[in-house]
Structure 1
Amino acid sequence: MNRTHTGFGTLPIVDIGGLYHDDPHERLITARALDRAARDAGFFYVTNHRVGRALQTALIEHAQRFFAAPDAWKMRYYIGHSSAHRGYVPEGEEVFAAGKRDRKEAFDTGRDLPLDDPDVKAGTPMLGPNVWPDQPGFREAVSGYYDAAFDLGRCLFRGFALALGLPEMHFDAYLHKPPSQLRLVHYPFDASAEDAPGIGAHTDYECFTILLPTAPGLEVMNGAGAWIDAPPLDGAFIVNIGDMLEMWTGGTYVATSHRVRKVTQERYSFPLFFACDYRTVVAPLPPFATPDACAKYPPLAVGDHLFAQTAQSFTYLKRRLERGELTLPDGSKQLSSFGQEARYAVPQSHP
């Protein structure tokens, strides 16, 4: 059983229009609604945001066009050729903690940084230039959506700050150059698929995720341990709490375990994994820094956690680890170390 999440049967819906209001009181009222949804479910819809429908449509159309291309052409942009974990992810490349490969392909992007950026020159993992396929309009559509979704994330973070009793701009200091990834994910049509678990249960590694899905398939674990459908809601994004916000709140917000069912319907999914700057060190904030919380959540560097989790789940990175070309940061956690399923587990770390 989960100490904070309720046995919800549907995801809460939060109208976040008040976060854009000039009146601080209106922003605080909305922040309190965010807080309730984060505590009760850790997964919720947000409506009345400011990410335009045209930006969403362009993103979806360009993703459809890209994934419809021949595999050989897509592999020209294989993520394993990138220095910053960007590009095409073929089926079977990504494997979660259960060791199961799933039927999906993806294209990973992030903040597009030039090669002469100081952090890129220093070899900081997960930071660098995007890989752009030779598809007219793709770069503009993806970049335009990324910028708008990132602005939404900054707005949500200010709402979370108010909800947690912090100055409204508290988290802005950690958002200069975060390794926030936008993934374009394609689940192909499979007429033989059974309605069964596909992508295994996991949490997201960052602070929170902003998701645009095109079809059902997503399931969320509630506080009673039951799996709840989280279908698309027209005009809404799905937002879920990630590992780092669980740490910052000392477990008051819990990274919600979720999975994707195998369904016959073709599906596209566009998560923006909203992170903080790579070298941000996260530990329970003062209002949540109880002895138990501090013992459960020792300080952890955001970038190290993201890189370690990624390196343990992508085949090309695991091969580099095996060859000794990469090493995991000290104290790296194993996959699925957060969320409901790990709530009472003894934390395990790599040496």
Structure 2
Amino acid sequence: MYSSRHYSSRHTAFQSIPVVDITGLRADHPATRQATAANLGQAAREAGFFYLSGHGIPTPLIERLQARTRDYFAQPLAEKMRDYIGQSHNHSGYVPEGEEQFYGGKVDKKEAYDVGFDLTREPTKWPMVGANQWPSLPGFKEDVKAYYDAALALGQHLFRGFALALGLPETTFTDQITTPPSQLRLIHYPFDPDTPADRPGIGAHTDYECFTLLLPTAPGLEVMNGAGEWIDVPVKPGCFVVNIGDMMEVLSNGAFVATSHRVRKVAEERYSFPLFCSCDYDTVIAPVLPPAEGVTNDRYQPVVCGEHLYAQTIQTFRYLRDQWQAGTLALPDAARALASFGRLADNDEAERPHASE
């Protein structure tokens, strides 16, 4: 999901993020897919963030997702706590405000509902993959799962596009994606005019996974450009926002760099729907290319995808952290501390906080 990290001056000093139309990734002709992938690669290299058009997800599917989410968060807290994430076996369910906390910083002003790849066959050997905990709210499971499946399929197109952009065979990444621990978060940022200005929706961070497909409903998102400036990312109707994550930075050996981003104190009620796209749980995340210019051979060390995600989650979520600190839950082998993955040592970012979109 999220890590606090350094920013890289290898990004340009962009003042707005680019728009990439990925319609061509679905074309039958390889040259059309390659040309579209080149645009994708340029945006990933120069900004690590871009708007995505031509995504193909039907508007009614998005509208039903948003309606079910509003209905769910409008319930009393006691009702939502019936679905508390700490009751689940695969990290799915309701996340109340204050459940997540990073580096002892301020608590993010948000609540969420987390779902993942709904693997219902038993048994499953991975702690972050399995049957989701679904609330009893009518239509919630059906509409959220329909959106998840459509967004996950869109993610597969992007994985193929990124492979082509890096000069790799088109299926380099998708060959390692069958039942991934790719998490969809339904996030609610309530509007409270009395919230202090230094209480962000979410603090500065990068995302752990390969990339994130984000659907926001209101302003608030800011990204850091190559000059270290915070740039506003307004909502663009009909578009998703995509950002490179730490694991894609590692896989590309620094060709694509994850970009720091945050959600400032919101000026209106805001909902956000990030899908964090990853490879399968047992996939070893290691560079598949020679180092990018300026990157040393030992900059990026291999890590097991799911084990890393689980280790970061244990250290972030209270219900798991309490078990770990009590000695009833162990970190995976070779677990790393928070904010230790996919970070560049070029420049120190002033903020070292918590979690975001």
Q: TM-score, normalised by structure 2?
A: 0.91
Shift of 1:291: 10
* Equivalent residue runs for 1:43-62 within 5 Å: 43-62=49-68
Identify if the C-alpha distance between structure 1 residues 246 and 341 changes in structure 2 by more than 3 Å, giving closer, same or farther: closer
1:190 to 182, 192, 211: 192
1:145 alignment partner AA: Y
Whether the 8 Å CA contact 1:312–1:318 is kept in 2: the answer is yes
Deviation by residue 1:53-80 (Cα, 9 ceiling, x = unmatched):
1111000000000000010010000000
Whole-Å Cα distance in 2 between the matches of residues 210 and 242 of structure 1?
11
Matched, 1:37 2:43: yes
* Equivalent residue runs for 1:115-264 within 5 Å: 116-117=122-123, 120=124, 122=125, 124-196=126-198, 198=200, 199-264=202-267
Deviation by residue 1:192-219 (Cα, 9 ceiling, x = unmatched):
2355461111111110000000001111
What is the match of residue 348 of structure 1?
Answer: none
2:275 to 268, 272, 275: 272
Shift of 1:255: 1.3
Whether the 8 Å CA contact 2:213–2:241 is kept in 1: the answer is yes
Matched, 1:71 2:77: yes
Whole-Å Cα distance in 1 between the matches of residues 292 and 267 of structure 2?
46
More helix by share: 1
Query: What RMSD over aligned residues (CA atoms) do the two structures have, in Å?
Result: 1.8
1:210 alignment partner AA: L
Shift of 1:324: 0.9
Whole-Å Cα distance in 2 between the matches of residues 248 and 293 of structure 1?
14
Whole-Å Cα distance in 1 between the matches of residues 328 and 30 of structure 2?
51
Identify if the C-alpha distance between structure 1 residues 45 and 113 changes in structure 2 by more than 3 Å, giving closer, same or farther: same
1:337 to 340, 343, 350: 340
Shift of 1:332: 2.4
Identify if the C-alpha distance between structure 1 residues 296 and 31 changes in structure 2 by more than 3 Å, giving closer, same or farther: same
Whether the 8 Å CA contact 1:17–1:48 is kept in 2: the answer is yes
Identify if the C-alpha distance between structure 1 residues 343 and 78 changes in structure 2 by more than 3 Å, giving closer, same or farther: farther
Which fold has the larger relative contact order, with Cα–Cα distance below 8 Å and residues 6 or more apart in sequence?
Answer: 2
Whether the 8 Å CA contact 2:211–2:248 is kept in 1: the answer is yes
Whether the 8 Å CA contact 2:250–2:342 is kept in 1: the answer is no
Identify if the C-alpha distance between structure 1 residues 178 and 204 changes in structure 2 by more than 3 Å, giving closer, same or farther: same
Identify if the C-alpha distance between structure 1 residues 271 and 165 changes in structure 2 by more than 3 Å, giving closer, same or farther: same
Shift of 1:99: 2.2
Whole-Å Cα distance in 1 between the matches of residues 237 and 292 of structure 2?
39
Shift of 1:24: 1.0
Whether the 8 Å CA contact 2:182–2:278 is kept in 1: the answer is yes
Shift of 1:156: 0.5
Whether the 8 Å CA contact 1:96–1:200 is kept in 2: the answer is no
Query: SS at the partner of 2:169?
Result: coil
Query: SS at the partner of 1:46?
Result: strand
Whole-Å Cα distance in 2 between the matches of residues 197 and 252 of structure 1?
34
Query: SS at the partner of 2:106?
Result: coil
Deviation by residue 1:105-134 (Cα, 9 ceiling, x = unmatched):
0000011112514xx1x3x12011101111
Q: TM-score, normalised by structure 1?
A: 0.93
Shift of 1:95: 1.2
> Greater CA deviation, 284-293 or 317-326?
284-293
Query: SS at the partner of 1:185?
Result: strand
1:260 alignment partner AA: V
Whether the 8 Å CA contact 1:39–1:254 is kept in 2: the answer is yes
Matched, 1:106 2:112: yes
